[in-house]
Every structure is written in C-alpha cells, then in structure tokens.
Structure 1
C-alpha cells in the first residue's frame, strides 16, 4: 500500500523555489523531488541524494531513511524527465512525500496551459499554484508563457500585466489541474518585486479568495514563515 503523499507544484514564478522550500520543511522525513515534465536536478543543500534513471530497488534504497532524494530520467539540456509508473509506485512505498513539478514556464513569471498541461499524478493530495508578481506592469508578451492562447492577449501583446491578468492566469491553472478548490493553494509569489502595488495585490487576493481559493501573498526566497505559507497540515 502506498504511503507517500503526492504534492504537485504548477504555474510560474517560483515553482523550483516552492519545491526546494517544501523539501527543506520536510527533510526529517523521506522526501522525493521529481517531475512529470522536466526539471534541472536539485543539488545540495536542497537534495541529499540524486538518483538518475533508478531501478525500483535503487529508489527504494535511496528513500529508506530520512532526507531528500531527487530522481528522474536524463533528458536534453541536462534536465530530468519523469519517472515511470513502476518506479513511482516503488517510491511511494518508501517515501513519506513526493513533491513534483507538473508543468513548464520557460523561466517566465506567469503562464497559460495547453490542453496537455499540467501532468497531474493520480492520487495527488494537494497542488500549489504559483504566480510571479514580478510580472506586474510588464508587457504580456514578455512575461507570460504561451500568452497567445488567449485571443485578446494575442491581439494586444503589449498590454501591461495587472491584477486582472494575474488572476486570469491563476484561474487558468485552476481549471487546467482539475482538482477541487479544497486541494489547492495559490501562492502569489515575488511580492517584494511589486512593492508599489500592495493595495492592488491585496484586492486581487481577496477576489480570488472570494472564489473559494486559499490564496497566500509571499516572497518565498525571503519569507521567514514558510511553515505557515506552505502548510500541508491535514493532508492525507
């Protein structure tokens, strides 16, 4: 019987940081960091052990004691792609947590999703949706991955990002991941990069919360209260 709780991270503007911080908060347990798309391998101090194309026995051995294991299959440009279902099942028998990135954003702070994204694993207990506030005030065409998927944005690529645009990117991620609101946390990250827009950001967060989303405004690289921001209390 699987024991690992599967936690997805999607969106843009802080997915790698979110995964790193989640791993740090739980490193006294047995943690697997992986992907269903592509990631660069994590290294120390985030990752204690790296498993490249592991066998079922190798992944179970790596996860047999506390710490953070990063695992995946070699892909292009030095990245890792996802593990097979067989290896994931083996990992689930040994790990306490599987934290995984489920989409890509080309290092931009916001994104829209294709019909094939994100790639959410069966049995995923919770999903963090990240949106980068550093996009605020910049042209859509410069800061939103696949902005052309929205016809009105494609026709006006120079439109400047505001709270309405960011909220629409969040809603797109919610719809794409197909998980209930109760299983989602929205992270409005990089608030330090939009310091002059605090009131507008707060209004956007209230609007999203009124739609049933847990919404947290943060700067994941700097915030000291990560245990509260990234809380998984009650996840089963």
Structure 2
C-alpha cells in the first residue's frame, strides 16, 4: 500500500492518472460520479481545476445549469461564479470548456436531460481514434435528490463504458441519522442491501456493506479505476476524525479489491479540504487479458513467415505486440509454435520496460491448427482474468483504441465479435465463462466452434467497411496492401 501523503487530494490523484495515461495512447479522460452527499460539489471543484485544456461537465441523467438554483443545479462558490464555462450550455460536445447536456426539460428554463451514454461513448472513441487528448469530462451518472446517502434502483447507475475513473461518494452527515426517506434516496433498497431497518440509526458498517456486496460497484466498466470519497468528514464524532481512525476506516474500505483509493473530505478553516487519503500503488482489480497468436505456419505466404516480414521498420510480430502492450490489456500471453526461436528473438526487446504481465508459451502441436494455440493461451492466463481478446499475430494495424473498445464491451458472460460488411472478424473477446471450453480446443477450428454453440452470448460490434484493423497478412497481396497503407 502506497501512502506518500495521507492527505493527498483527489485532484493530485487525478493528475497522476492523467500522467500515467500519457504513457499509452492519446485519449479523452472520463470521470463518472455516483452516490450522494457532496457529489455536485466534487464535480464543480474538479471542473474548476482545469486539468486539461478542455473540461466538460455532463450527465447521463439530468442536471440544472450550475448556480441557477433548484434541486438539479449544483451550487457555485463565489470563485466558481467567475468561470463562464460553468454556465455555458451546449447540446453537443463543446469546442471549449463548458457543459454538455441533452435537451431542455419541458416546462423549465435551466434543467436539462442527460446525454445518452452511447452517444458519449461514441464521441470519446472517435476522439481516441483521432489521437486527441485535450479533454477531461466529468459525468454525473445517477441522482440522489440532494440526500447524503443513496442506493441504486435497477436502472441505475448510468455509467458510460468509456469511463476511466468512477467516484463513489458518501455523505457522512447521514451517519447517526435515522434511516428514512429524508436521509437516504431509495431508503427501501438501502434497507434491503444493508439489513438496516427503517427507523434504525445508520452506521458506517452500512456503507461498507453497500461496497462489500457489490451493490455500489454495479455498472462500473471493467477498465475503470474506482475511488471512494467520504464527504462531510467534519460531521463525524471528533475522535473519528483523527488520522489513525480515518486510516482504519480506509483500510476497511480497501478490503474490497475492486476499489483503488479512498478519500475523506470535509469543511476545515472555512474551505472544503481533504482530511485523509489512501491510494493503492497498483490496482488489484481482476485483469482483462490479451492472447497474441503467433504459432502459425504462414502456409499461404509462399515460403515466408509473415510474422517476420518487415513493416514500417520492424517485424510484423513486433509491431503487433507493441500495440498490444500499449493497450489497456494488463495480462498478455504470446503463443509461439512455428519458428518459435525467431519469434522469441524478435519480441525479446519488448519483454521489458513496461508494467504489463507478459508471458511467452509454446504450443508444441501448432501443426495441427489454431485450436491448440488458443488452448495454450487460455491455460496461461492470470487466474483472475475476466475476459481475453484473442489477437492474430499477423494483424499489424490493430490499435490500442480498438483493443480498448472491444474490451470495454466485454463481460465474463459475453463474446464480443467485431463485424465489417456483414462478416465476423478478428480479434474476438471471450469472457471467462468460456475459458474451460477454449482450454479444451484442438485442431484448426479455433474459437469458431464456440461461437456457433453460444450465439445468444455474442455481441456484434460493427466497424466501417474495409476496416483496416482487421487486415490479416495471409497472402503476399495482403502484405503488399499493408506496405501501401504505410506509405
């Protein structure tokens, strides 16, 4: 556990995440916020920090224009009122810092519907593909009726899949209060999830229960970091406000391995300040994996091993693996077979200088087809892996943003298949529920036979016609096409 500063601020933590993101590929950064008790204060404070050239405040539910009053409008400090971007409304992604809302709610002047999360995801993915990294977005992804605590209804939260960091916020002014509709939004669900009966006194253990059960982790995308913020820490009994007591509470929260950091905020000397924070050095969230298939015999390439051909100054397999290492897959397996020594030598420079888990495994039965290579890759995955993308080693134009998009759509129970022109393509993402079947594959069918057996689990993800990312170098003319694309 890394605790360089027990009062490191949320803004400082976010700066660190943004700096870390720069090591991979350019992308907007999306922070989604759920919970109650200081959510809007957190939103406007982060927006005001101007961590990137363009800051966008948005919602997938509903929100009023900040500072205009009413139950949906975040209040503004005197300093925030001087920022015109906090009241500049756009119904499309704004060209400069400002608010991005859906349509105006009928019968109101300053209240707007939320942005469709699919629209938000689509725009962020377009920005990624264009290599743009000038934007940070802050999205309110549920409602709390201005109450310090809440539980989620079945349709909540509405978190975009492109979220990089999810903030779960509790208002500690609710601790010690009576469990009823005045203190907790959806108090009946809160009662069901915690076992606390209506009319009883709310305890800190009730908040831990919401986290331990996974109730407040529902809907969080698999690639999102997770931070828990306890607002209104000044409402705790004075002994509980000590560094030692807050540290004990933070450790209790971090027993849930999906959570990466904990912050306690409250009012002190007239301003909203961090009381205590604890941040993991490295996430313990179950990984998403990538299996690079590099065992084939290149039988249609007329004598050449296609993975060892030169493309853009490097071997095809080097280019492919470099892209995978720059992606959001943290657990990576490369399966060798034919020309294994030459493949291992080619990728050797890429085995160091990163924090990814990269393992090379050999499929001795590579002559029998791709099935054995898929099985070898699955058997070498991290035991906690939730889903894995299977990438042919001869796809030189697969990119980190595309890998991310496919992984964002994944779940342990699903199979994600990209399509173009009505055809299924590679790479395919299999959830962990299919690992046992994949681990038993033999012959040349690969994962195709599993697709046929589980059509109901398949999510087809359409891409444009003649999608370059799916280009396989099977034949000499494919290699010529790849050379033309680079020039």
Task: Give yes or no for contact 2:264–2:274 (8 Å, CA) kept in 1.
Answer: no
SS in 1 for 2:253: helix
- 1:51 and 1:3 mapped to 2: Cα distance? 23
SS in 2 for 1:23: helix
- Residue 233 of structure 1 is matched in structure 2 by none
Task: Give yes or no for contact 1:129–1:170 (8 Å, CA) kept in 2.
Answer: no
Per-residue CA deviations over 1:128-160 (Å, capped at 9, x if unaligned) read 110010111100113111120133778821111
Is 1:106 aligned to residue 145 of structure 2?
Answer: yes
What is the count of residue pairs matched by the alignment?
A: 222
User: Alpha-carbon deviation of 1:169?
Assistant: 3.5
User: Alpha-carbon deviation of 1:8?
Assistant: 0.2
Larger fraction in helix: 1
Which of 11, 17, 21 is the equivalent residue of 2:41?
17
SS in 2 for 1:218: strand
User: Alpha-carbon deviation of 1:187?
Assistant: 0.3
- Residue 229 of structure 2 is matched in structure 1 by 187
Is 1:215 aligned to residue 262 of structure 2?
Answer: yes
Per-residue CA deviations over 1:53-112 (Å, capped at 9, x if unaligned) read 34xxxx35x32xxxx301212125542222244476457737511110000011100110
| TM-score when normalising by structure 2 | 0.40
Which of 143, 149, 157 is the equivalent residue of 2:183?
143
Distance 1:152 1:36, change over 3 A: closer
User: Alpha-carbon deviation of 1:47?
Assistant: 5.0
Is 1:70 aligned to residue 70 of structure 2?
Answer: no
- Residue 115 of structure 2 is matched in structure 1 by 83
Output aligned runs, 1:35-184, within 5 Å.
Answer: 35-43=59-67, 44-45=81-82, 47-48=84-85, 50-54=88-92, 59-60=93-94, 62-63=95-96, 68-73=97-102, 74-75=104-105, 78-84=110-116, 85-86=118-119, 89-90=122-123, 93=127, 96-141=135-180, 142-149=182-189, 150-151=191-192, 156-171=197-212, 172-180=214-222, 183-184=225-226
- 1:187 and 1:109 mapped to 2: Cα distance? 12
- 1:98 and 1:30 mapped to 2: Cα distance? 8
SS in 1 for 2:230: strand
Which of 241, 246, 271 is the equivalent residue of 1:198?
241
Per-residue CA deviations over 1:151-192 (Å, capped at 9, x if unaligned) read 377882111111111222444553323345971000011101
Q: Which runs of 5+ in 2 are unaligned?
A: 1-24, 68-80, 280-327, 329-487
Task: Give yes or no for contact 1:35–1:102 (8 Å, CA) kept in 2.
Answer: yes
User: Alpha-carbon deviation of 1:114?
Assistant: 1.1
- 1:179 and 1:90 mapped to 2: Cα distance? 17
Q: Which runs of 5+ in 1 are unaligned?
A: 231-235
Distance 1:89 1:229, change over 3 A: farther
Of 29-38 and 197-206, deviating more is 197-206
Task: Give yes or no for contact 2:28–2:136 (8 Å, CA) kept in 1.
Answer: yes
User: Alpha-carbon deviation of 1:203?
Assistant: 3.5
- Residue 26 of structure 1 is matched in structure 2 by 50
Task: Give yes or no for contact 1:11–1:173 (8 Å, CA) kept in 2.
Answer: no
Distance 1:181 1:4, change over 3 A: closer
| TM-score when normalising by structure 1 | 0.78
Task: Give yes or no for contact 2:90–2:98 (8 Å, CA) kept in 1.
Answer: no
- 2:168 and 2:83 mapped to 1: Cα distance? 21
Max Rg structure: 2
Distance 1:155 1:173, change over 3 A: closer
